[in-house]
């Protein structure tokens, strides 16, 4: 086993192929996180402020995205696409499904952050003469950010790891590209270890940053 | 929309899919039980005075938390072959999810242990309780209260993660059965929509019963 690690047929070209896969992983993550966060911000504020008859249906729908395996969501979206005559690439489908998945979790994080701001603080802001939108941007947002950002970082990393599933609908990302190499050179342990290392390097530093932010910001709690 | 839905064949396959759901639950429950055992050991090891135990626990936890679950299942299925260990898709899936569960739960347990103050233990000891007695009667109930909610979350994730078994060729869990039906008929949407409903119901049942149990356990 160890000899196979030394005289390997894994070449620099293969590494380059895997790094390109990692680029696709990051691209899917970027679009999913961007769209998911924007949608999550809007829905989170709506969920924190709207009356129950608006709140309940939104909560119910978002809950579905959190209770059905992502793999099944991807397959369903991919099968649904031609039915309504959409001509999207599987890359786009993957991004859209992951964005919805991200927004479902992000909504709850934003809502939690929003509700963590005491009503008295907001009333104080209003009685100082701030308008509703000023209160939202100058008071609620900075305080809520401290509560929400560590969980948001964790969620982003979670979505990055979940992009590994989009290969099922035909996107060649990091894990799929390593599979392609494995079928050619038949050294699964080595190639998968490299893939794992790349994932680890993409995730670990940011996870550490999140943990540090959480500790620093909760020092005075 | 020019597509005609064929729900009837999908509904006829419902019994098969429900049997698959049973396998899904089996994997999830087993991986949770094993995951809790490993997580407790890891949480203890991460506080050990022997550095090699600490290093082992840290690398397990960080690897489990910073790589995709699908990668971990792949490692169990394809990677172990390089060590001469060839395992079937069911044990590979179970090993992958257990590895993942243990990593996440170990962090939960570590946090839980920190949440119960040392003074509780000291108070119990000074009231004349033995070490084990104090742990069982004083520390454990408080610890359980803290880790209960994250544990139910992890259980739901474990159920959702079992769907990845199909990627390493498992064909008798819910997703596996659905995929088999799908390749035979190409009625992808109908079959997978039905599977999604079943997954949703399983996840909701678990969450609701966990909440009921919590209500019964944690009331004062």
Reported ipTM: 0.89
- Residue A49 resides in a domain: yes
- Residue A18 resides in a domain: no
Tokens 């397959």, residue located:
A75
- Residue A12 resides in a domain: no
Using the beta-carbon criterion (under 8 Å), do B70 and A79 form an inter-chain contact?
no
- What confidence score (pLDDT) does residue B86 get? 86
* Contact assessment for residue B174 and residue B164, using Cβ atoms and an 8 Å cutoff: no
How far is residue A180's CA from residue A24's CA, in Å, rounded to a whole number? Answer: 15
- For residue B69, list chain A residues with Cβ-Cβ distance below 8 A: 161, 164
CATH of B7-217, one of 3.50.50.60, 3.40.50.1370, 1.10.3720.10, 1.10.10.60: 1.10.3720.10
- What confidence score (pLDDT) does residue A2 get? 54
- Please report the number of interchain residue pairs, chain A to chain B, with beta-carbon separation below 8 angstroms: 114
3-state DSSP percent of chain B in helix, strand and coil, to 5 = 85, 0, 15
Whole-model pTM: value is 0.90
How far is residue A136's CA from residue A117's CA, in Å, rounded to a whole number? Answer: 10
* Contact assessment for residue A85 and residue A70, using Cβ atoms and an 8 Å cutoff: no
Low-confidence ranges of chain B (pLDDT < 70): 1-2
| Token duo for residue A172 | 């060649």
Map B42-59 to HEC letters.
HHHHCCCCCHHHHHHHHH
- Alpha-carbon torsion angle A147, B106, A212, A110, nearest 10: -20
Low-confidence ranges of chain A (pLDDT < 70): 1-7, 219-221
Tokens 């639950």, residue located:
B25
Residue boundaries of the structural domains of chain B: 7-217
What residues contact residue A140 under an 8 Å CB cut-off, 6+ apart? Answer: A114, A117, A122
- Residue A146 resides in a domain: yes
**A10 touching chain B per CB within 8 A:** no
Residue A174 sits in which domain range? 26-214
pLDDT in tens, B42-94: 998 998 899 999 999 999 999 999 999 999 999 999 888 888 888 899 999 99
Interface of B with A in 156-175 (CB under 8 A): 156, 160-164, 166-167, 175
- Residue A20 resides in a domain: no
**A165 touching chain B per CB within 8 A:** yes
Of the candidates A121, A162, A174, the residue with the CA atom closest to the CA atom of residue A144: A121
Alpha helices in chain B (DSSP H): 7-12, 14-45, 51-66, 69-77, 89-115, 118-126, 131-134, 140-161, 174-185, 188-217
* Contact assessment for residue B172 and residue B38, using Cβ atoms and an 8 Å cutoff: no
Interface of B with A in 76-105 (CB under 8 A): 78-79, 81-84
Using the beta-carbon criterion (under 8 Å), do A72 and B71 form an inter-chain contact?
no
- What confidence score (pLDDT) does residue A41 get? 94
- What confidence score (pLDDT) does residue B58 get? 94
Would residue A8 be called left, alpha or beta, if left means φ above 0 and alpha means ψ between -120 and 50 degrees? Answer: beta
| Token duo for residue B196 | 């999604």
Tokens 């819910």, residue located:
B174
- What confidence score (pLDDT) does residue A196 get? 95
- What confidence score (pLDDT) does residue A120 get? 94
Of the candidates A70, A127, A116, the residue with the CA atom closest to the CA atom of residue A94: A70
What residues contact residue B142 under an 8 Å CB cut-off, 6+ apart? Answer: B115, B116, B120
How far is residue A41's CA from residue A108's CA, in Å, rounded to a whole number? Answer: 9
Which CATH number fits the domain that encloses residue A163?
A: 1.10.3720.10
- What confidence score (pLDDT) does residue A6 get? 62
- What confidence score (pLDDT) does residue A221 get? 59
Nearest 5°: the CA angle A179, A18, B97 is 50
**B28 touching chain A per CB within 8 A:** no
- Give how many domains chain A has, as a whole number: 1
Using the beta-carbon criterion (under 8 Å), do B74 and A4 form an inter-chain contact?
no
**A154 touching chain B per CB within 8 A:** no
């Amino acid at each position: 086993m160890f000899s196979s690690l030394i005289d390997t047929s894994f070449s620099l070209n293969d590494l380059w192929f895997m790094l390109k896969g990692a680029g696709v992983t990051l691209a899917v993550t970027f679009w999913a996180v961007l769209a998911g966060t924007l949608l999550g911000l809007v829905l989170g504020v709506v969920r924190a402020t709207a009356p129950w008859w608006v709140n309940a249906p939104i909560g119910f729908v978002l809950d579905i995205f959190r209770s059905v395996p992502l793999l099944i969501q991807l397959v369903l979206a991919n099968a649904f696409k031609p039915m309504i005559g959409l001509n999207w690439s599987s890359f786009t489908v993957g991004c859209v499904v992951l964005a919805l998945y991200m927004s479902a979790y992000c909504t709850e994080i934003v809502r939690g952050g929003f509700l963590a701001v005491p009503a008295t603080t907001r009333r104080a802001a209003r009685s100082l003469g701030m308008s509703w939108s000023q209160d939202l941007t100058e008071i609620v947002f900075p305080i809520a950010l401290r509560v929400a950002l560590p969980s948001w970082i964790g969620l982003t990393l979670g979505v990055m790891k979940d992009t590994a599933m989009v290969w099922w609908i035909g996107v060649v990302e990091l894990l799929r590209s390593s599979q392609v190499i494995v079928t050619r050179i038949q050294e699964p342990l080595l190639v998968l270890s490299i893939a794992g290392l790349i994932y680890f390097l993409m995730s670990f530093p940011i996870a550490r940053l999140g943990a540090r932010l959480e500790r620093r910001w909760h020092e005075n709690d | 929309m020019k597509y005609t839905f064929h729900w009837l064949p999908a509904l006829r396959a419902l019994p098969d899919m429900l049997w698959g759901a049973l396998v899904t639950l089996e994997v999830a429950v087993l991986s949770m039980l094993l995951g809790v055992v490993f997580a407790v050991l890891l949480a203890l090891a991460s506080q050990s005075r022997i550095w090699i135990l600490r290093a082992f626990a840290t690398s397990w936890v960080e690897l489990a938390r910073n790589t995709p679950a699908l990668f971990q299942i792949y490692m169990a299925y394809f990677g172990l072959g390089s060590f001469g260990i060839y395992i079937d898709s069911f044990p590979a899936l179970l090993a992958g999810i257990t590895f993942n569960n243990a990593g996440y739960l170990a962090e939960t347990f570590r946090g839980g242990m920190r949440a119960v103050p040392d003074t509780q233990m000291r108070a119990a000891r000074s009231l004349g309780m033995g070490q084990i007695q104090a742990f069982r009667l004083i520390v454990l109930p408080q610890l359980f209260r803290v880790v209960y909610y994250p544990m139910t979350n992890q259980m739901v994730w474990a159920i959702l993660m079992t769907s990845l078994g199909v990627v390493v060729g498992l064909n008798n869990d819910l997703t596996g059965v659905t995929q088999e039906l799908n390749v035979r008929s190409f009625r992808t949407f109908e079959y997978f929509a039905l599977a999604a409903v079943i997954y949703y119901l399983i996840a909701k049942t678990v969450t609701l019963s966990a909440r009921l149990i919590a209500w019964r356990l944690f009331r004062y």
